[in-house]
Structure 1
Amino acid sequence: MNNPILSFEHITVRYLQQVLFADLTFQVMPGQQWALVGKSGSGKSALLETIAGNFNIMGGNASLPLLEEVVQRHIGADPFLTPRKLMGKVGAKYAFRTLSNTTEFYYQQRFNAHDSEDALTVRRYLATIQSYAEQPFWTYERTIDTLHLAHLQEQQLIKLSNGETKRLLIAAALLKNPLLLLLDNPLTGLDKQTRATFNDILGAITASGITIIMATAPGEIPMSITHVAELDAGHIVRTSTREEYQMQEAATTELPPLDEQELRALLALAPTPAFEVIAQLKDVSISYGGKRVLDQISWEVRQGERWALVGPNGAGKSTLLSLLNGDNPQAYGKNITLFDRKRGSGESIWDIKKKIGFVSPELFQYFPSQNTCQQVIESGFYDTLGLFRKSQAPNAALALRWMRVLALEHFAATPFRKVAASVQRLCLLARAMAKNPPLFIFDEPCQGLDAEQQQHFKHVLDTICQVSNATLIYVSHYQQEIPASVTHVLQLDQGKQVEA
């Protein structure tokens, strides 16, 4: 009988004084490819981290038999080889370091000319990846071709878009030629075209002999997956083949009720000031290192309009948004008007930021984690990345009221670092909305949220748009995530405006 690749028998797992799993049993046999599904916070990411060896297994039996066999066969050639080195993992967050290897990247680094050069290129970063395979199947050439990275090889890591970074991380994991590949929501941040080819990419990976365990949404289970494990509150409640799982009726969960009266009351506390033009760009171009990222963009957003900003990975969407939210110093000298005022006419970055509620994948990636969830939301009143001053009781109370609107109130005193990624993202959305700004800029705000969380957030946002004069710019690669209140579309491709 074949030995399993992974065997967990009645294990207990702890992390940061929390019990994540109790009496958990899970086994992966050769030839099986597993998807982990379940609501946000059900334990999918935690199970991947446990398999990767990042959480403490306190009881039961845990082994990686096939990986341990490989280690034993090569112990003479490499005494430092461990089962963990035979795994590849792509998580929800990443930790690139600067070229000088002294610090990790920071938010806004990509827009600061000097610091943006303090980063490895794609080529140099991938050259640092070590493979332990005797005859690697995933060579550099095959990997960058499969992940469509050839045109990005000389690009600094910090300048990659969110979707391009995800493809890079998958490439780095493949270059290890692992026996076991762990993927945490790998489709998150990928544009429609790349998602469409992802089945082929996974097919090539599994055909090369790699076993995959991936956390994913129930509606995004690739064809290469053979088995599905459903998680709920730290328990595997059901396992099935992919075919059996897809035949089951989808469970419907009642959405949290939205207290529209409370939402209206919160919005009335800070009425939206009147503007004629929220944002206007006239013939704006942006270049980095000789590469034109935005090419002669002309766009006007008037107060009360709700826009979708769409386009493939690397189209220039994040750069365009950075010109509006005060993060990009190249906004100076460009023909840009924000809130009826010409950019560069004496306003400060903080004058701009206090009028904008902003969320993006980069903000999630680099947001500090030392505060409680309630403090993270309160920091939005001061436009700081975290609460670095004494909490003010009125703002703390408002933060808690917004947490109730988004069904987050029971996380108020919990440290931000201890909650699930989905809860962190919802806290950042509450942080953006709490000050009731004239403009919301939401860049892929539903990343990592389950279907119920997405629907509830969209209900909140559509209600805000219905009862207020808020302006919205919304970015998503998924048509179904775009709120019903959106009525205008700007589409970018290779830095140019194209007809939507």
Structure 2
Amino acid sequence: MPLTPAPFISLNDITVHYLGQTLFQNLSLNIYKGEQWALVGQSGSGKTSLLKTIAGRYNVVNGSIAHHYYKEYLQTHQQKEGVFTSRHLIAEVGQKHNFRNLSTNLSNFYFQQRYNTTQAADAPLVASYLSAVADAASTEGYWDYERVISTFQLEPLLQIELIKLSNGETKRLLMATALLKNPLLLLLDNPLTGLDIQTRTDFDNLIAAIAASGITIIMTSSPTEVPAAITHVAILEKGTITATNPRSDYRPDRISTIPVFTPEAGELEALLSLHKMHTFQSIVRMEDVSVSYGKKQVLQNINWQVLPGERWALLGQNGAGKSTLLSLINGDNPQAYSKKLFLFDKKRGSGESIWDIKSKIGFVSPELYQYFPSHNTCLQVVESGCYDTLGLFRKSKADNADLALRWMRLLGIEKEANIPLKNVSASSQRLSLLARALIKNPPLLILDEPCQGLDQHQQQRFIHLLDTLCRSSDTTLVYVTHYPEEIPDSVNLVLHLKDGKVTNNSILA
């Protein structure tokens, strides 16, 4: 008769409150040694909240969480000095980093800092950051400094400031940092977001290696990207676990979905007609543009022209130079002044201000999401797009607030209008930033991984809206993604970067 596996962690009829809301009520989940779990479900179903509850960040008002691994650890390890709780045996990788500046020891980075050489130097180097984490680790084990560098291919990044890492490079560093702590429980919140195709392909092997090292994994995931090394899947819906399955019995097509959204054509036309589109001969023109930081060449001899009404896909692996290229266009990179760069028919640095440029661009990116102030309500965040500011720092105008609410309604997030950005789900935060980019119907939309963190329904809703917008206007689009299947039908041109060089500039097949 097979032995029953030992329990690892048990959630026993827990009720969880946060900011006056009930997140879970009478929720139970038992995880045993040797199991690796994925939490799946639609956006807002409670996946991230459940991770935070397990980590001890939310208040369990009824029921209990039994950390069996913690009790076992205390029986086999000498009692450490000071307070040592179950949280010391847990590592988390969330949607945002918490890096700190050297001068202030605060997480007060700002969006453009990575492109400003003198200000970027206030961020620690990757090597020193990893060393500090390794020195402070409360446990020792398999994952040491050399192993994480090798596993996550961090050697080329060691002498680079944290702030200069791409979104995908940052995710790899956060994973490495978590493993340096040699936790018994690793909590991963959508770890595949922001990773290029090759890194996502390698992720199955990584999960298997982590599990083999004795670490238990609980991760959130999209229904279609559950790694093969995961042994069990829990399906959440509106704060309730509706099913738990062994990985072999899991079927992503059984998760309830919402019909594809069709935007109200009349309302979209009305919104687009509120802002008259300017006429330009050229939107972007680059001639032999190169960008370096010290000895590191980020972009090399880029020649690219974007004409009005064109829709481009900007593709490339993590660290290929995509974000730097976009920073030149969006007015965030001071190196633009010395380059042969023309924006909206004017050479950069010929007298136009950054605000002149930003007034013509709607922009969203993972970095903007990382650094956007979160104290404003979602409605204020969207309205701030009318003024090109990161948040609303002036008195709201009634007509702009009404306009913001209409765009939120098109994206299905009007219910979050009066809730602070920091208190809504990650998907609602991202959709608020998308609405902020769309609100002024700009001549140029730069959408850098806009579907990160959105569930399948929300992605379909946004892509459909974007295609409808492109059919109904002359908006120029630059679209960045690591998921080719996500590229809107309206996109028919591609610029592909590799190691800072253009490898393909053509019509999208």
Q: Normalising by structure 2, report the TM-score.
A: 0.96
The answer to whether the Cα contact below 8 Å between 2:262 and 2:465 also exists between their aligned partners in 1 is no
- Would you say the 8 A contact 1:71–1:81 is kept in 2? no
Contact 1:256 1:407 in 2 (8 A): no
Q: Which residue of 2 aligns with 1:414?
A: 419
How do 1:83-482 and structure 2 match up within 5 A?
83-104=86-107, 105-129=109-133, 130-134=136-140, 136-246=141-251, 249=254, 251-482=256-487
- When residues 435 and 248 of structure 1 are mapped into structure 2, their CA distance, relative to the original with a 3 A threshold, is closer
Which has the higher mean CA deviation after the structures are superposed, 412-421 or 277-286? Answer: 412-421
SS at match of 2:452: coil
Instruction: Give 2:54's aligned residue.
Output: 51
How many Å separate the matches in 1 of 2:421 and 2:173?
Answer: 27
Q: How does 1:61-100 map to 2 (within 5 A)?
A: 61-74=64-77, 76-100=79-103
- Contact kept, 8 Å, 1:184 with 1:216, in 2: the verdict is yes
Which position in structure 2 is the counterpart of 1:37? 40
Note if contact 2:41-2:255 (Cα within 8 Å) is conserved in structure 1: no
CA shift for structure 1 position 414? 1.4
Q: Which runs of 4+ in 1 moved over 6 A?
A: none
Shift of 1:77: 3.8
Q: Number of matched residues?
A: 499
Separation in 2, partners of 1:257, 1:416: 26
Contact 1:147–1:171 (8 Å) recurs in 2: yes
Deviation at 1:101, TM superposition (A): 4.0
Partners in 2 of 1:365 and 1:179 — Cα distance? 28
**Separation in 2 of the partners of 1:256 and 1:479?**
21
CA–CA distance in 1 between the matches of 2:275 and 2:143?
56
Say what the alpha-carbon RMSD is for the aligned residues.
1.3
CA contact under 8 A between 1:75 and 1:81: conserved in structure 2?
Answer: no
Question: What are structure 1's unaligned runs of at least 5 residues?
Answer: none
Following the alignment from structure 1 to structure 2, what is the Cα–Cα distance between the partners of residues 56 and 256?
36
Separation in 1 of the partners of 2:104 and 2:18?
28
Q: Counterpart of 1:133 in structure 2: which amino acid?
A: T
What is the identity, as a one-letter code, of the residue corresponding to 1:360?
Answer: S
SS in 1 for 2:447: strand
Q: Which moved more, 1:458-467 or 1:79-88?
A: 79-88
2-side partners of 1:132 and 1:179: how far apart?
Answer: 12
SS at 1:219 equivalent: coil
Retained in 2: the 8 A contact 1:71–1:83?
Answer: no
Instruction: Give the percent of matched residue pairs that are identical in Structure 1 and Structure 2.
Output: 57
Describe the shift of the 1:23–1:249 C-alpha distance in structure 2 as closer, same or farther (beyond 3 A). closer
Structure 1 position 72, deviation (Å): 4.7
Residue 2 of structure 1 and its aligned partner are, at CA, apart by 4.7
Give distance in 1, aligned partners of 2:335 and 2:166.
18
One-letter amino acid of the structure 1 residue matched with residue 179 of structure 2? L
CA distance in 2, matches of 1:295, 1:225: 41
Structure 1 residue identity aligned to 2:62: G
Distance in 1 between the 2:218 and 2:446 partners?
Answer: 34
Q: Does 1:495 align with 2:500?
A: yes
Give 2:117's aligned amino acid: A
Secondary structure of 1:274's partner?
Answer: coil
Q: Secondary structure at the match of 1:281?
A: strand
Q: Look up the SS of the partner of 1:262 in the other structure.
A: helix
> 1:276 aligns to what SS in structure 2?
coil
Contact 2:362-2:438 within 8 A present in 1 as well: yes
How far off its partner does 1:255 sit? 2.6
Q: Distance in 1 between matches of 2:33 and 2:81?
A: 25
Greater CA deviation, 353-362 or 406-415? 406-415
Name the CA distance, whole Å, in 1 between partners of 2:286 and 2:69.
58
Distance in 1, Cα, partners of 2:106 & 2:408: 33
